Amino acid sequence: MKYRELAKTGTKLSSIGLGCMGMSFAYGEPDNVESIATLRNSLELGINFWDTADIYGNGANEELLSQVLKDDRDKVFLATKFGFRQGEKDMYLDGSVEWMKQAVEASLRRLKTDVIDLYYLHRVDPKVPIEETVGAMAELVKEGKVKYIGLSECSAEDLKKAHSIHPITAVQSEYSMITRDVEKEILPLTKEFGIAFVPFAPLVRGLITNSLDIDKISDKDFRHTNPRYIGEYRENNENLAKELSELAQSRYGVTASQLALAWVLAQGDNIIPIPGTKRRKYLLENSKAVDIVLNESDLKVIDDLLIKYPNVGARYTTRESKFLKK
């Protein structure tokens, strides 16, 4: 495994982390036995950066991770998040200081740890000034409950305001070959400020792998309603994935997943993607992407391919998009 520095902290994280959401939430029935085996295997592969959140399975994901953390806490750089709450019918945002204080204590308890390495605000709550939320998060650092703080899916303006209150160590947003909105403002700003950028869904929730048959996944898998897997967008994206897979194999001798992750890594030294998986075989496949080095010529070939398939669709449904900062 190769490693990258987390912002300017001196902390070395595996160049590819592990997104743990799918082990407990959104991707069909959980398989805790395989998930725990995957977590243990990640440490064997040198992957020391795990990402979770309190809303994933309403705390179930944090509790799952704690089963491995109890013996290997010193081997893991642990990131979790707060800011979503589960209502009677749907989730809603709560970035209040009062909720943050409750949320961090609950996460520490579920994770069975004394400190969270990286604590994110999961989404910016428009009802609460970002300065207020981040100011309260900074108090957690002073209290020793949290080492570093981060923001997820924030706007550039929110990042500037937050960073003026307390150093923001990491920004997490969706980023992949076909989800590139952050290239306009957020990614350049993280580089300017010396902040780590942590892409989630770098494999477009499996779409880019050319190995996913949407018709064969669990009925409980949220991807059945994702716009990118429906109608004309599905056709466009399946054709893209097929050609990307052919390019990956013929030019580099790797899989589409590995090439997609290598592409993300090539976009900046401050980038540490967290592809999610709950299976060891995909974890191993993903981990090998750190050894692929792409030059400018390679990146142009890939971009030329991507341009042929512009009709990728929205990354979220209308209901899910309401949580994104405009």
Lowest mean pLDDT among 90-94, 170-174, 176-180, 232-236: 232-236
> Measured in Å, how far apart are the chain's first and last C-alpha atoms?
37
For strand 12-14 and strand 3-5, is the pairing parallel, antiparallel, or unpaired?
A: antiparallel
Instruction: Please check the confidence at residue 51 and state whether its pLDDT lies above 80.
Output: yes
Any idea what the Cα angle at residue 292 is, between residues 291 and 293, rounded to 5°?
Answer: 115
Higher pLDDT, 210 or 120: 120
Q: What confidence tens digit (pLDDT) does each residue in 111-124 have?
A: 999 999 999 999 99
Catalytic residue (choose from 27, 56, 148, 309): 56
Domain boundaries, the chain: 3-204+264-292
In angstroms, the CA 13 to CA 99 distance is 29
Any catalytic annotation for residue 252? Answer: no
Backbone angles phi, psi at 325, to 5 degrees: -75, 130
Locate the DSSP E strands across 131-288: 146-152, 170-174, 196-200
Residues in Cβ contact with 154 at an 8 Å cutoff, skipping those fewer than 6 apart: 121, 124, 130, 162, 171, 173, 186, 325
Question: In this model, does residue 308 exceed pLDDT 90?
Answer: yes
* pTM of the full structure: 0.93
Going along 45-139, which residue ranges are E strands? 49-51, 77-82, 84-86, 91-93, 116-121
Number of CB atoms found within 10 A of residue 111's CB: 24
90-100 pLDDT tens trace: 889 999 999 99
**d(Cα 171, Cα 319) in Å, to the nearest integer?**
23
User: 3.20.20.100, 1.10.20.140, 3.40.630.30, 3.50.40.10: which CATH number matches 3-204+264-292?
Assistant: 3.20.20.100
